[in-house]
Amino acid sequence: MTDISALGEFGLIEHLTRDFQGKQASVLKGIGDDAAVVADGEEVQVFSTDLLLEGIHFDLAYFPLRHLGYKAVAVNLSDIAAMNALPYGITVSIGMSNRFTVEALDELYAGIRMACEKYGVDLLGGDTSSSKQGLIISVTAFGKTGKDQVSYRSGAQPKDLICVSGDVGGAYAGFLILDREKSVFLENPELQPDLTDFDYVIGRQLKPEARTDVVLKLREWGIVPTAMIDVSDGIGSELHHISRQSGTGATIYADKLPIDFQTVSVAETFQISPTTFALNGGEDYELLFTVPLSAFDVLKTEPGITVIGHVTEEKGQVQVVLGNGTVTDVPASGWNHFPDKKEKPE
């Protein structure tokens, strides 16, 4: 008998789905990207699904239910954005034990509704069930884009520029602060946490956004990324996904990585390199994408987009050039939900 952890999360999915054969010609992409893509005339339908489990993906000790509802939606819409598509709807299934009151669920749904308002998407289906097992949230997101607008993970070309939106590593910094304050609280419930210096990174952890605004900007600029993925597991892991699926490699520059000063400050506090935060810290939900060199003239003046490196020909080799000029490999091991989160960035 084989232990699940022997395969790892990505290995397990590949193993379990290896014998499934495509039946519908309209299915352009099934498993293996941020979302599935189904042909639909001049457009494509884009679908993505996520399961969030209490004790694995979130800890209600410091995750307010309203934020949790918002985040559950945002992270799914982020998968739609990562296909260069725009979302139009979601379905939400909830399982909850009887320790939850109607008022607690109202908070959760208030967050779901805020996200629906913010992104202009409809709640297409709802399902609730009791659970013996804490809180379970399953969200499926539905989006659309033009047939020629889809960005898969597999289209990167050597010499393409590697770009990322916003800044990275912040959500992980926020997680570390919240987790530390929880430990302090458990030791001494009288102490009040002081989180004022960490408002930005805590916001990154508790209320991430889907970068549909970047998708709209790309359309405005007439740029279709050759490859795109959202940063849920850390830039290092995402670059390996793009490299493996595109048959290319990647070289990025540590001093180009967009890292907020609060993230740097938390990294110093925990004596971890900010580059490690940026490469391995997950849940930023920024868009990581590749574009032809010709797009540089447009992107170089955009403050919200940073060019961090370029695509290379060395298949599967992801390297980072450190500030001192040293070149080092970035390991493929990304954000792994199976071991304890705290152990990951080392």
Q: Which residues within the stretch 41-100 sit at the binding site for a second copy (CB under 8 A)?
A: 41, 45, 47-51, 53-57, 88-89, 91, 93-96, 98, 100
Residue 102 interacts with a second copy (CB under 8 A)? yes
Nearer to a second copy, 20 or 192 (CB): 20
- The residues, ordered by sequence, that sit 6+ positions from 21 with a Cβ below 8 Å of its Cβ are none
- CB-based contact 231:287 (threshold 8 Å): yes
Quick one: which of 16, 195, 216, 293 contacts a second copy (CB under 8 A)?
Answer: 16
**Least distance between a second copy and beta carbon 152 (Å):** 14
Please choose, out of 30-38, 212-220, 224-232, 288-296, the segment that lies near a second copy by the rule CB under 8 A. Answer: 30-38
Please choose, out of 105-113, 174-182, 290-298, 324-332, the segment that lies near a second copy by the rule CB under 8 A. Answer: 105-113
- The residues, ordered by sequence, that sit 6+ positions from 230 with a Cβ below 8 Å of its Cβ are 34, 78, 79, 81, 82, 210, 211, 238, 285, 286, 287, 288
Nearer to a second copy, 16 or 322 (CB): 16
Q: Residue with structure tokens 């400050």? A: 265
What sign does the dihedral 59-336-48-18 (CA atoms) show?
negative
Nearer to a second copy, 26 or 328 (CB): 26
- The residues, ordered by sequence, that sit 6+ positions from 100 with a Cβ below 8 Å of its Cβ are 135
Q: Within 225-264, which residues bind a second copy (CB under 8 A)?
A: none
Determine the residue type at 96.
M
* Residue 288, SS3 per DSSP: strand
Q: Within 286-345, which residues bind a second copy (CB under 8 A)?
A: 337-338
Nearer to a second copy, 116 or 266 (CB): 116
* Distance in angstroms (rounded) separating the CA atoms of residues 105 and 96: 9
* Distance in angstroms (rounded) separating the CA atoms of residues 228 and 329: 21
Quick one: which of 113, 180, 182, 256 contacts a second copy (CB under 8 A)?
Answer: 113
**Least distance between a second copy and beta carbon 340 (Å):** 11
**Least distance between a second copy and beta carbon 166 (Å):** 24
Nearer to a second copy, 139 or 272 (CB): 139
The neighbouring-strand residues paired with 250 are 311, 318
Quick one: which of 131, 245, 269, 273 contacts a second copy (CB under 8 A)?
Answer: 131
Quick one: which of 78, 85, 101, 309 contacts a second copy (CB under 8 A)?
Answer: 101
Reading phi first (left if > 0) and then psi (alpha if -120 to 50, else beta), residue 48 is in beta
